Amino acid sequence: MTVKIVIDAMGGDNAPAVEVEGALQAIGEYDCEIILVGDQTRINEMLNKHGGKPDRITVKHASETIDMNEPAALSVRRKRNSSIVVGLELLKHNEADAFVSAGNTGAVVCAATLSLRLLPGIERPGIAVIIP
C-alpha cells in the first residue's frame, strides 16, 4: 500500500527548497506519494532545478502562508488558503494519509484541531517529538 503524504512546502526556513529536496529523496527511498502544498510557481521552479516533477509528486497551490511570528488561531481563521490549512483539508477529505510541516507549530495544531477534531476521549491535542 502506497502512503500519500502532504507536505507544507512553505513551512520552515528556506522554503520550498528543503521541502522539495526532501520530497524527492522520500520518493526515491520509500513507496510513497507526496503532495507539496504552497506557492505552485515557486515549488515548480524548485522541482525544475532537480530535473522536473516526478509522477509520484503532485503540487497543490495555496496562495497564503502563515509566518512563524503570527498568532496561531487568528492566522488559521484569516488565512483559509494557507499551505497549512489547505494541506490539512486534504487530509480531512481522505486525499492523503499524513501531513507534515516545519512551519508554525501553533498554527498546525490549531488548524488540525479545527479541521480534523480530536479523537473521542481526548481533551487536548498532542505533539509527537523525538527525545534522544
Q: How far apart are CA 50 and CA 66, in angstroms?
A: 26
Return mean pLDDT, the chain: 95
User: Is the pLDDT assigned to residue 111 strictly greater than 90?
Assistant: yes
Query: pTM above 0.95?
Result: no
Query: Given this model, what pLDDT does residue 128 score?
Result: 78
Decide: residue 129, CB within 10 A, 0-12 exposed, 13-18 middle, 19+ buried.
exposed
Query: Given this model, what pLDDT does residue 1 score?
Result: 82
More confident: 100 or 129: 100
> What tens digit of pLDDT does each residue of 40-95 get?
999 999 999 999 999 999 999 999 999 999 999 999 999 999 999 999 999 999 99
Query: Given this model, what pLDDT does residue 126 score?
Result: 84
Which distant-in-sequence residues (6+ apart) come within 8 Å of 128 by Cβ? none
